[in-house]
């Protein structure tokens, strides 16, 4: 009975959370149901619903839930009440921070996105303009829009550093999709980040995200190796240092 009451409470909270997110395609949400027999919340969409994933992941972590499955083909995902310690949701990628976008509301992001799109067309898809539009789309939690602008780039006309950026953002998108699948497999994510490291062996984001992937797969020793390399690339990064200390502590426990 207690679990049923908790599920109904969480369902109400989740509906409020989703409806308050102005950046989300609210019309794509079909329903939020409390499956009392299965002990889970089931969210259904009219379309793939990728834009909802970051909000659902944050909600799960904040409320002791596990994002147990995500099926774009069936247009549904489920959040399960945790019973005891568990690994939780698969990690999404860490992407470069854009200070000017931090804390921006949806209205501001929407206006900046429209301006960025105009620049893309005026510049005939110049790499800098496409990357700018993709970053703003990601900040709006619309990865499909980010993929659209990255797909406009012509690799042959790009500088080496721009090719690294493109390969890295393609890896972010694959990482996000595989983390949403709930299958626990990151084979294509590893392949994509491997391509980034082949061009830029000290790339912080590729190393850090591979550390996340290794940890999610239970390969803690490998995660430590990647995170140590990431910390060598950015010795000042507190998140890397904290995560490295946490995983190292797990390995030291008998």
Give tens-digit pLDDT for 8-43.
Answer: 778 888 877 777 655 455 566 777 787 766 667 788
Residue-wise pLDDT tens digits, 106-132: 678 888 999 999 999 999 899 999 999
Residue-wise pLDDT tens digits, 40-78: 778 877 665 666 766 777 777 677 676 666 666 666 777
pLDDT given at position 1: 46
Distance of CA 100 to the CA centre of its chain: 20
Q: Which of 57, 42, 29 is nearest to 175 (CA)?
A: 57
Residue-wise pLDDT tens digits, 169-224: 999 999 888 876 666 678 999 999 999 999 999 999 999 999 999 988 889 999 99
Instruction: Tell me the pLDDT of the chain averaged across its residues.
Output: 80
pLDDT given at position 83: 43
pLDDT given at position 72: 60
Tokens for 17? 């959370």
* CATH class of the 99-252 domain in this structure: mainly alpha
Q: What residues does 32 pair with on adjacent strands?
A: 43
Q: For the chain, what are the domain ranges?
A: 2-81, 99-252
| 153 backbone dihedrals φ, ψ, rounded to 5° | -80, 145
CA angle, 91 then 104 then 128, to 5°: 80
Kindly tell me if the per-residue pLDDT of 84 is higher than 60.
Answer: no
């Amino acid at each position: 009975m207690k679990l049923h009451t908790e599920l109904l409470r969480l369902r109400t909270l989740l509906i409020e959370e989703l409806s308050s997110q102005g950046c989300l395609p609210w019309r794509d949400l079909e329903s939020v149901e409390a499956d009392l027999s299965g002990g889970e919340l089931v969210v259904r969409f009219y379309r793939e619903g990728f834009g909802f994933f970051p909000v659902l992941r944050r909600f799960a972590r904040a409320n002791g839930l596990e994002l147990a499955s995500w099926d774009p083909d069936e247009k549904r995902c489920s959040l399960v009440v945790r019973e005891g310690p568990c690994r939780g949701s698969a990690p999404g990628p860490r992407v470069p921070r854009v200070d000017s976008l931090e804390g921006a509301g949806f209205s501001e992001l929407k206006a900046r996105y429209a301006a960025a799109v105009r620049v893309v067309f005026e510049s005939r898809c110049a790499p800098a303009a496409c990357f700018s539009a993709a970053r703003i789309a990601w900040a709006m939690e619309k990865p499909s829009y980010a993929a659209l602008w990255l797909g406009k780039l012509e690799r042959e006309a790009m500088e080496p550093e721009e090719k690294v950026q493109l390969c890295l953002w393609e890896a972010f998108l694959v990482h996000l999709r595989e983390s949403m699948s709930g299958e626990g497999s990151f084979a294509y994510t590893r392949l994509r980040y491997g391509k980034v490291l082949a061009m830029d062996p000290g790339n912080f984001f590729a190393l850090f995200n591979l550390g996340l992937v290794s940890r999610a797969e239970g390969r803690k020793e490998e995660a430590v190796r990647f995170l140590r390399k990431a910390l060598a690339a950015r010795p000042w990064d507190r998140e890397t240092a904290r995560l490295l200390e946490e995983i190292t502590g797990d390995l030291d426990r008998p």
